[in-house]
């Protein structure tokens, strides 16, 4: 699949994943890789960007036997963004599905 397209979808997936519960880096990577096969390295830059855009907030939690973990939490702005992306995705998904269905029925 086109990587840029993947990245666009990835943004939505990450937002949805964090909306369920606050997550730290590794947790998010394992969660996302369940859905899309993507390079681990690309997720962090995305998190960084979403944090810089104020869609995420971060906070540190001490972990047992290791450095403190940085948790990502969805902000209200992030929630809005998520809904927005979701509706775009639905629209896109629907129109593509309809198009394919029409093609198959003929």
Partner 1 sequence: MNKSKFLNKLKKKLEILNDEELNDIINEYESIIDEKVKHGKSEEEAISEFGDVSTLAKEILEAYKLNAKKVDEDDFLDSLDSTIKKGAKKLSEYTKDVVNEAEKEEITIDMIFEIIIKAIVILILLMIPFSILRSILTAFTSMAVPSNFFGNFIVSIIGGFMSLLFLALLILVIYLIIKDTTTKGSIKKSIKKRIENEVEEEIEEEIEKEIKKEMKKEKEQIKEDKIVAKKSEQNSFTTIMLTILKVILILHAIPMVFSLAFLYVVLAFSIYLLFKGVSIIGIILLIISSIIITTFILQLIFKLVKTNFRPKKVGFSSLITAFVIFLIGIFFTIDFIGSIEFVNESPIDELSYSTFTQNYVVDDNIGNLLTRQSSNYSVFIDSEMNDNVLTLEVTYSDDFLNIKEVSVSDGYIIVHSTERMKLINLFNLFVDNLKEEKIYNYTKVFDYEINLFVNQETLNSIVIEEN
Q: Which residues bind partner 1 (CB under 8 A)?
A: 4-5, 7-8, 11-12, 24-26, 29, 39-42, 44-46, 48-49, 52-53, 66-67, 69-70, 84-85, 88-89, 92
Min. distance of Cβ 34 from partner 1 in angstroms? Answer: 14
The most distant pair of C-alpha atoms in the chain lies apart, rounded to whole Å, by 61
Min. distance of Cβ 78 from partner 1 in angstroms? Answer: 14
Give the torsion sign (CA, 61, 62, 64, 70): positive
**41/105 with CB nearer partner 1:** 41
Structure tokens belonging to residue 21: 């519960």
Strands (E), the chain: 23-24, 56-61, 69-74
Min. distance of Cβ 25 from partner 1 in angstroms? Answer: 5
**48/101 with CB nearer partner 1:** 48
Cα atoms in the 13 Å half-sphere on the side-chain side of 105: 6
**45/106 with CB nearer partner 1:** 45
**70/73 with CB nearer partner 1:** 70
Q: Which of 22, 35, 38, 31 is nearest to 75 (CA)?
A: 22
């Amino acid at each position: 699949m086109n990587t840029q397209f993947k990245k666009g979808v990835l943004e939505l997936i990450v937002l949805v994943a964090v909306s369920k519960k606050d997550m730290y880096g590794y947790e998010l990577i394992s969660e996302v890789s369940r859905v899309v096969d993507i390079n681990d390295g690309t997720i962090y830059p995305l998190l960084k960007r979403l944090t810089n855009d104020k869609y995420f907030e971060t906070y540190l939690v001490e972990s047992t036997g290791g450095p403190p973990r940085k948790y990502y939490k969805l902000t209200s702005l992030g929630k809005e963004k998520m809904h927005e992306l979701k509706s775009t995705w639905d629209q896109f998904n629907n129109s593509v599905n309809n198009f394919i269905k029409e093609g198959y029925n003929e």
